[in-house]
Amino acid sequence: MTTSDWIALGSAAATFLGVVVALVAIWLQIRKMNQQLTIQQFSDYTKRYQEIILRFPEDINTPTFRVNGHASYESLMRNMRAYFDLSYEEWYLNGRGLIDGRIWDAWEDGMRAAMSKPAFRQAWSIIRTDTSFGREFEAFLDGLHRPRP
């Protein structure tokens, strides 16, 4: 090999190494950006959830709570609708593979906990009579009050 061949080979190797380093840097940036987007998405949904939950009556988690006839029925139902809309959005995003599995598990556990309470089951039975979320989501939500398989 001549000197110019060695120079050409060294130049090609340096170029290849530069491309590899650039690709790794891009991959790391994309990974970090995805992590930040996941955190942002989780934070946004958590904030919306908290805003809804804070507007519920203090006694909503009691076993004797009754939606019908409650003093704040209209406000309660407006917030229940917001809660079920939010739950639908989360379910929809998960079904499209747009949510991290661990985040979905946390959200699903939260929905399961909510549906274990009489107030949420009562509100859901009222809301589903005048609002359609689609059979799949409705079946999913109906199944949440049962223990996990």
Inter-residue contact 143 to 97 (CB < 8 Å): no
Q: Answer yes or no: is 65 within a domain.
A: yes
Q: Answer yes or no: is 37 within a domain.
A: no
Q: Answer yes or no: is 64 within a domain.
A: yes
Q: Answer yes or no: is 30 within a domain.
A: no
pTM: 0.78
Domain that residue 64 falls in:
55-143
- Tens digits of per-residue pLDDT, 48-75? 999 999 999 999 999 999 999 888 999 9
Handedness of CA 48, 54, 55, 56 (dihedral sign): positive
- Tens digits of per-residue pLDDT, 83-140? 999 999 999 999 999 888 999 999 999 999 999 999 999 999 999 999 999 999 999 9
Q: Answer yes or no: is 100 within a domain.
A: yes
Q: Answer yes or no: is 2 within a domain.
A: no
Q: Answer yes or no: is 3 within a domain.
A: no
Q: Answer yes or no: is 46 within a domain.
A: no
The domain total for the chain is 1
Higher pLDDT, 35 or 47: 47
What whole-number distance in Å separates Cα of residue 137 and Cα of residue 83? 14
